[in-house]
Amino acid sequence: MKSKIFELILILAIVFAGCSTVQTNNEDGGDVEPKYTEVGNGFEDDEGDGEEQISSSDGDENGYNPFYYNFDEKVFIQQIENNIFLHFSSNIDKEQLFTLINSDATLQPTSRLNIDEGYFNFVVLESKDGMPISSVSIESFKKRPEVVSATFMFKYNETLHAITNEFVVMLNETTQYTQLQKLAEQNYCEVGEEDQFVKNKFTVSVPKTSELNAMQMSNLFYETNLFEFAAPNFFILTTFINR
């Protein structure tokens, strides 16, 4: 049975149990709360017997133990090392998508693609042998012009999460916009326009060339004490995966 087409449902609420801390649009000037985006799959269901390769709670061999800040609370999240999330700069057609997928013979989509879909803005790939995906493969995808970000998938409380190249910050009352600009420039990031509903709320984009992903960069920003919060815009992927 064909799955639902891609859904991008913007949910304006604090995600207390491990979802991202991204602000709500509050026109009344009240408390600013997080948001996350839930995404359907755009794939057809398929049976699979592979297992997710999840990094241990003590971190990987390089000592990386993924987490993000839910305001001042550290939330640790598992990294799935045999699944990667590719996010595109704009919707790409089927021919472009299959060319991209076929560029790495060790990977495959997590389920059969729904070929009736005309355009795609993301895809999730898994290793065919169930082993961890190499950094070489991830870096090769980053070099492609249509790819905005290529990152491992994450898992929290049995829910699959993905991040793109963006995170959201909220300035403290004493923080000046120029301080945000300077910090972004120091880390080769780009600051977007201020949110039209929430004062001092900004989206920050991380370049593909950065050694830090959006989650790590948001932590770096938050730890400067310049922000009320800083956290990635998580995609919560609900039905795309074949397990």
H-assigned helices in the chain: 94-101, 135-142, 177-186, 214-222
pLDDT beyond 70 at 90: yes
Say what the pLDDT of residue 91 is: 82
Instruction: Provide the pLDDT confidence category of residue 217 given band limits of 50, 70 and 90.
Output: very high
pLDDT beyond 50 at 149: yes
DSSP string of 43-55?
EE---------B-
Q: pTM higher than 0.85, yes or no?
A: no
Token code pair at residue 131: 């082993």
Task: Report whether 233 contacts 197 (CB < 8 A).
Answer: no
Gap between the Cα atoms of 69 and 55, Å rounded: 19
Return the closest-CA partner of residue 146 out of 190, 210, 191, 93. 93
Instruction: Provide the pLDDT confidence category of residue 47 given band limits of 50, 70 and 90.
Output: very low
Instruction: Provide the pLDDT confidence category of residue 4 given band limits of 50, 70 and 90.
Output: very low
Say what the pLDDT of residue 208 is: 93
Looking only at Cα atoms, what is the longest distance across the chain?
Answer: 54
Gap between the Cα atoms of 193 and 191, Å rounded: 7
Q: What is the mean pLDDT of residues 200-210?
A: 96
Task: Report whether 192 contacts 202 (CB < 8 A).
Answer: yes
Say what the pLDDT of residue 201 is: 97
pLDDT tens-digit map of 18-35: 333 333 334 444 444 444
- In sequence order, the β-bridge partners of residue 34 are none
Token code pair at residue 1: 């049975």
- Tell me which of 223 and 7 has the higher pLDDT: 223
Return the closest-CA partner of residue 62 out of 6, 154, 135. 135
Task: Report whether 200 contacts 178 (CB < 8 A).
Answer: no
Say what the pLDDT of residue 37 is: 46
Gap between the Cα atoms of 21 and 13, Å rounded: 9
Instruction: Provide the pLDDT confidence category of residue 242 given band limits of 50, 70 and 90.
Output: very low
Gap between the Cα atoms of 156 and 179, Å rounded: 33
- Reduced to 3 states, what is the DSSP secondary structure of residue 95? helix
Say what the pLDDT of residue 235 is: 87
pLDDT tens-digit map of 124-134: 999 999 999 99
DSSP state of 9: E
Angle, alpha carbons 71-74-78 (nearest 5°): 125
pLDDT mean across residues, the chain: 78
Calculate the alpha carbon distances from 204 to 26, 43, 221 in Å.
19, 30, 10
- Tell me which of 142 and 239 has the higher pLDDT: 142
71: left (phi over 0), alpha (psi -120 to 50) or beta: left
* Residues above pLDDT 90, as percent of the chain: 56
